[in-house]
Each structure stands twice: as structure tokens, then as C-alpha cells.
Structure 1
Amino acid sequence: MDPRIREHAEIIVNHSIDCSEGDNVVIDAHPVAEGLVTAIVEAVAEVGGHPLVIQERLGKRFRRAYLKHYDGEFEAPEHTHALYEAMDAYIAIKGGDNETELGDVDTETQSAYEKAYEPVRETRLNKTWNLTLYPAAANAQQAEMATEEYENFVYDAIVKDWDAVRDHQQEMADRLTDADEVRIVSGETTDLTMSVAGNETLNDYGENNLPGGEVFTAPVKDSVDGEAYFDIPIYHQGREIDGARLVFEDGKVIEHSAEKNEELLTDVLETDEGARYLGELGIGMNRDIDRFTRNILFDEKMGDTVHMAVGRAYPETVGENNVQNESAVHVDMILDMSEDSYIELDGEVVQRNGTFWFEE
């Protein structure tokens, strides 16, 4: 076994979920990740935990079969809900699936399914959880990289000193927490302002997401104004949205377009009332992620980028006097900040062309 797989597993068990004796741990993974799953099971056992391996959330082929053949109203099964209520920690391992597996399932069906399973998702997110990736050949192909090249890329982004990452990112997290107004400008296509007053900025150093490497918060719901053009594509529901453009007024998307799959973007924004508001502002700080790979777990952490998610806000980022944006979706969109770009906090430039003030 590649020794980096064991390092990956040990980071997940001992850092990301901080597994303890007696913990019930659910591991949700594609079979291609068998080596990583085995190493995680061993690490959980060594601390006295109880692992259970399933294919529920990440078995896209199984989900496609269900969505294509079920003819009725979706509802979250009680036994699925019960599993997540009973567990102490959840580990989801992406990798190996055909990312376009759901591409021939109509978006209305997928949206209805997501809405029905929202209570299950909330239960899962209210427990200790970690989302990571095993570098399978299918993911390398999607990233347009050789398999070995992709493995090196993934492990460079994951196997690192996450306490040092936390310390490096904390300056930006503290500065964003203390700020009232954020302005993001990129070229002639993006000029957006929003308030983050009273909201909390979280420092992602490999706990919920592995790799980590971002700081993120929630905008005040009705405060977003201006226009943003997202020049890095994303995958959603098995298809790529490219060149998305959103115009905001009083927090709400009032105009939108996309150069590819605009109808999918429209479907996202029409999921529910909260889907037309921003739930997250994130700043990518992991410079070992130095290229777009069509995998949001990595792409949103990319150094020199900013991402914004329409839809659900994470409750941990919303201050007690502010309103949490509620939605069945949370779709991240990314823009490159490496050239002709800057971030202002309360009128002060804190990042220009990807470089933070404390790095100059």
C-alpha cells in the first residue's frame, strides 16, 4: 500500500474526526477506495471505535437507478435517517464514480430528491463529519491528468501539517470576522459588495473537508449587490456549468446567464426561495491546489480564487442576530483572483492579484 494512503487515513481519523473509543463511525465510499477504507478501518479500530462501511451518498450509479425507476413522491426513508442519528461520525470518500452518471436524470427529479432528503442531510451535518477523496483513475481523467500525476497532486494537497495551515490562515479569518463590508473586484466582469457584519468566519484546516485550505463565512442575506462572473467551471448534477454570470440586488439574484448549460443554472436558482441568495463567501488559500480539476472539493480551495455559493448557509457562520439563508441546494461557483483583481474589507485592500497583505 502507498504509505501516503495510511497517512491520509491517520489524518482523517486522528485529526479530522478526532475519533475516540466507542465512537460509531460510518464510512461512505466507492469500492475503488478500498485501500483507503481499509486503512481508515484499521485506524478507527486502533482507538477503539466501531466502523461501518456503506455506499449510500456516493454510489451515483445506484442513485441513478433509483431516480430513473422510482415513480412517486420522494421521502427520506426512516432507516436511512436512523443510521445517521445513531452514528457519532461520518466519513465520505469521493472517488471512482463517473461524475456524469446523473447526467441523463432530469433536473426536476434530482431537485425533488434533494429537497426530500434535506432532513437526512441536516442530521448528517449536525454530527462530526469529513469529506475527502481517493485519487482514482476516473478522477485523474476528469482532471485531464495522468493517474500518477493526479495521485501526487491529491496527496500534496492533503498530506501536510494542518496545524501550520490553521495558523497561516487565521490572520485572514480574523480579519474577515472583524469586517463589516466586503468588496470583490475582478477585471471588468466582477464588482460585488456584501455585508458580513455579525457573521463568523471559519478557518478550514482539514476537519470537515480534506483537503482544507480556505476561510469562509456567510453574507448578510439581503446585502449582496453588484455583478459576478465565474470564470472557472463547476460540475453539478453530472453536468458542467461554464461562464456563469449573476447580478444581485438586495441580496437576490435578479439576472443570470451562463455560456454553457444555462438551463441547469436556472434550475438551481429556481429550486426554492433561498436558492437565489448567497449562502457562502469563501477564499481559497491552498496553493498546492494550483489547477482546476473539475472537483469542487479541491477547486474551491485553490489558491488565488474566491468562491460563492448560492443556497444554504452553514449555521456556524451566521451570527445570532442575522438570518440564516435556507435552501435545499448549496452550489459553489468560483472566480480567478490571480490577475487584475482585489478584495477589500471596509475599504482596505487585503488581497491583490492573489497575494494577501500579510504575505507582502
Structure 2
Amino acid sequence: MEQLLNKYAKLVVYTGVNIQPGQLLVINAPIECADFARRVAKFGFEAGCKDVKINWSDEKFAKIRYDGAAAEIFDEFPQWRYDMFMDFMDKGAAIVSIHASDPSIFKDVEKEKLRRAQLAAGQALLEYRKAIMNNVLRWCVVSVPTPAWATKVFSEAGDEQVAVDKLWQAIFSAVRIDKNNDPVKDWEQHIAFMKKATDFLNGEQLVSLHYTNRLGTDLTIKLPKGHIWAGGAEIAADKVTFVANMPTEEVYTLPERSGVDGVVYASKPLIYQGNVIDGIRLVFKEGKVVEYSASKGEAVLKQLLDTDEGAKYLGEVALVPYDSPISNSNILFYNTLFDENAACHLAFGKAYPTCIEGGEEMDSVELVKNGVNDSLIHEDFMIGTEDLQITGTRADGSTIKIFENGNFVEF
């Protein structure tokens, strides 16, 4: 186990954020993930970091605070936290975020408090978030088990430690780590395959995608002129490559903000602010959600869509083969980092400016003029199924099959 943990931590440092000598490494970590955060820090220094900062979080205390504090408290974002994030940005830090939440911890929290806290943080950290989404900073999101998360995923285990061990095994498999391999080399091969997919899609420069499946999805998504497909490795502003998500199986781009029409059904639950939203059905007209429902968590879905005007529009289109390692595990992770890499997905809210030519240099007004959505949120939801069909349309009106029976057509 020690060997696997160290391989994982080293992979995050050397391939995930691809730390450079003299750089600051920042680790955002739940206190329950302290052991792994310290391992990442150790390999950070080994790789030549100037310093490592760990930004601890505690969702159990957050739950206590949400339950006990007055609602107006959540309209405030502390100046010291703003200063901390801006200092990270100004120093060109590499950011590792460990995402390992209890999927249901905030299910009984007053929804208005969650909304106000999200708005306060989103508005305060606009500049920092822009640096992340524009790849000004190198960043990587990873996960490690916590007891609450593991027992949600493996509820049948009957024992907390057994559930944690099973989740560790699933995570190691998803991030391509075992006792006998060199994960850094395996990731180089994986990234090369994903580049082949993005090169193919960028070469086609499709004007739209049409999705259908037996759930009832019948959705057309227009793609803006100059859109860029990305996936696998990213290139930061300093020209250093990094991998933003581990695991990652997706290639993605942005949709035309006003170019989404039809109906789509989610194929997996969405975990949002410690709440489970399941059975999602959405109707789009000219890009905007005009009708929605959910069999579970509909009030939370409404809260998400009401965050701001941009939350009702899409900011990401991502393609993931149904026949992929995470999907084939048949595990519902209740964690977007994993579940989004098991199925094609879309995202409510803000688009990545890096997915349109020259987007990193555009201000918010220019981005909107070029059909790029903006919002305080970016929330993925899964739509991929084993029978999903996706047809692309080229500028000359000809069509090409992109997905058949849930997987890429050979390219």
C-alpha cells in the first residue's frame, strides 16, 4: 500500500501539476486526507519546490457552521482568504486540489445559506478563478477515500475499513497505478491517445453535434467558429504541460451559448453542494434551459439553475467512451471527478476560454460576443449511455458519425 500511495503522490506532482524547480506548490486538502497531502508535499520538495502550502478544509465543521450561523454571515467572504488566493496567483503557484467530499453531508442544510456562500466566494474570487480556467496557473484535481465517501459508494461492504480499501483499489485502477507499472510512462501513452482524438475533432471543425439515445435524449448542440477540442494534457501560460484532472478520459470543447436545442436526460446522479440530484430531464431552447425536472433533488437543481443567468446555459461539451476504465468498473462514485470520466457529459455555466481561438486574451464582453457562456458556476452532469449516438455536421452540411453505441467511431 505504501508503494502505491507514493506512486500516486509522485504522479500528481510530476505529471499532474508538473511542478517546476523554485515554484510554490499549494495543496487544497480536507483534513481527513492529511496523510496523502503530506506525501504530495514531500514529493513537491523532492521535485524542487521553493515552498509548499497546505490549505486545509473541514466539511464537518462547515456543516456545523451552516446549521448554526445566521444566513447573512454567508454573504461575507473573508478578506484573509481573498488575500491568500491572490497571493497564490501572484506567485504563480501550482495548485493540487484533493476532492473527497461526503456526497450527502449538506442534504439537510438550508439551501439559501449554501446559495449565499457560493455567490460570495464566486464573486470574490473571479480573478483567481479566471487564472485557473485560462490555465494561467497549472492545477490538478485528484481524490482519495474518506470513510463517509467510501461507505456511500460501497454501502454493501458492511465495514468502514473494507469500504475504504475497496475505494482505494478503484481509484488506483482509475489513475493507472498498480504495483508493477511506471504510472508516469503509462500516462504519457494515455495522453498521446487523447491527443489523437482531439487532433481528429479539431481537424473536422464541426458546426454541430446531434445526440440521441433510448432514454429520450434528442439534443442538438452548435459549436462556435474557432472552437478547440482539448483533453489529456493542457498547456499552461508558461508553456509547461499539465494534467488538470486525474483520472481523465474526456475530450471537451465549448458549445455556442445560444445554440443548444432539444431534450436531454442525465444518465447518472449529479452531486451538488453535498446533495444528490437524480433523474434529471432538461429542455433547451436557443441555448437556455426552459424546462427541467428531477426525480430526486429538484429543489437543489432549481437552486443551481438560478445561480445567475449563465447557469441556465451550457459551458462544456465532453466526449467519453462508454467502454472506458471507469465506466467498465460499474461503480457509481458519487464524485463528479470520477463519474464524469465514465460518461459523456455536459456542464452548466462557465465555459473554458481556452476552448476557443484567442479566448485567453478576450475579456468577458468579447467572450460573450463570440458565443462563450459565462457564469459563477461550472457543474458537470452525465448524459452518456451504452446506446448513445452522436452525429457531427460539417460546415458544408455533410455529416459524420462521432459516437456509435456509446463509443467513438474509429478515427
TM-score > 0.5, shorter chain as reference: yes
SS state at 1:301 partner: helix
Give the Å deviation of 1:324. Answer: 2.5
Q: Which residue of 2 aligns with 1:139?
A: 149
1:287 to 305, 317, 324: 324
SS state at 2:295 partner: coil
In the alignment, structure 1 residue 200 sits paired with structure 2 residue 238: no
Alignment of 1:327-342 (within 5 A): 327-339=375-387, 341-342=388-389
Alignment of 1:205-244 (within 5 A): 205=233, 207-244=243-280
Give the Å deviation of 1:204. Answer: 3.0
In the alignment, structure 1 residue 90 sits paired with structure 2 residue 95: yes
Q: Distance in 1 between matches of 2:82 and 2:356?
A: 26
In the alignment, structure 1 residue 65 sits paired with structure 2 residue 90: no
Q: Which residue of 2 aligns with 1:175?
A: 200
- Identity among equivalent positions (%) equals 27
Q: Which residue of 2 aligns with 1:29?
A: 29
Once the two structures are overlaid, the 10-residue window that deviates more, 322-331 or 214-223, is 322-331
Q: Distance in 2 between matches of 1:140 and 1:306?
A: 24
In the alignment, structure 1 residue 41 sits paired with structure 2 residue 41: yes
More strand by share: 1
Give yes or no for contact 2:103–2:335 (8 Å, CA) kept in 1. no
Give yes or no for contact 1:196–1:218 (8 Å, CA) kept in 2. yes
Give the Å deviation of 1:188. Answer: 5.2
Give the Å deviation of 1:336. Answer: 3.0
Q: Distance in 2 between matches of 1:289 and 1:112?
A: 34
SS state at 1:327 partner: coil
Q: 1:192 to 1:122 in 2, by over 3 A?
A: farther
Give the Å deviation of 1:307. Answer: 0.6
AA paired with 2:207?
A: D
SS state at 2:28 partner: strand
The alignment yields a C-alpha RMSD, in angstroms, of 2.0
Q: Distance in 1 between matches of 2:350 and 2:102?
A: 26
Give the Å deviation of 1:61. Answer: 2.1
Q: Distance in 1 between matches of 2:286 and 2:34?
A: 48
AA paired with 1:25?
A: L
Q: Which residue of 2 aligns with 1:308?
A: 346
Runs of 4+ in structure 1 off by over 6 angstroms are: none
Give the Å deviation of 1:121. Answer: 5.9
AA paired with 1:67?
A: Y
Give the Å deviation of 1:301. Answer: 0.5
Give the Å deviation of 1:9. Answer: 0.9
AA paired with 2:128?
A: T
AA paired with 1:92?
A: S
Q: 1:122 to 1:103 in 2, by over 3 A?
A: farther
Q: Which residue of 2 aligns with 1:14?
A: 14
1:162 to 169, 183, 187: 187
Q: Distance in 2 between matches of 1:189 and 1:256?
A: 14
Q: Distance in 1 between matches of 2:315 and 2:5?
A: 34
Structure 1's unaligned 5+ residue stretches are none
In the alignment, structure 1 residue 264 sits paired with structure 2 residue 300: yes
Q: Which residue of 2 aligns with 1:317?
A: 355
Once the two structures are overlaid, the 10-residue window that deviates more, 138-147 or 208-217, is 138-147
TM-score (norm 1): 0.91
SS state at 1:105 partner: coil
Q: Distance in 2 between matches of 1:235 and 1:33?
A: 20
Q: Distance in 2 between matches of 1:212 and 1:67?
A: 33
Q: 1:358 to 1:113 in 2, by over 3 A?
A: same
Give the Å deviation of 1:70. Answer: 4.1
Q: Distance in 2 between matches of 1:276 and 1:93?
A: 28
| Count of aligned residue pairs for this structure pair | 353
AA paired with 1:129?
A: W
Structure 2's unaligned 5+ residue stretches are 158-162, 178-182, 234-241, 360-368, 394-398
AA paired with 1:99?
A: P
AA paired with 1:343?
A: I
Q: Distance in 2 between matches of 1:122 and 1:155?
A: 34
1:345 to 368, 385, 392: 392
SS state at 1:222 partner: coil
Q: Which residue of 1 aligns with 2:165?
A: 148
Q: Distance in 1 between matches of 2:60 and 2:148?
A: 14
Give the Å deviation of 1:12. Answer: 1.0
Q: Distance in 1 between matches of 2:127 and 2:62?
A: 19
More helix by share: 2
Give the Å deviation of 1:337. Answer: 2.4
Q: 1:204 to 1:122 in 2, by over 3 A?
A: farther
Cα offsets for 1:69-93 (capped at 9, x unmatched): 1442623322212222222122111
Cα offsets for 1:153-207 (capped at 9, x unmatched): 1001113422211121223323333221111111251011111132111113571
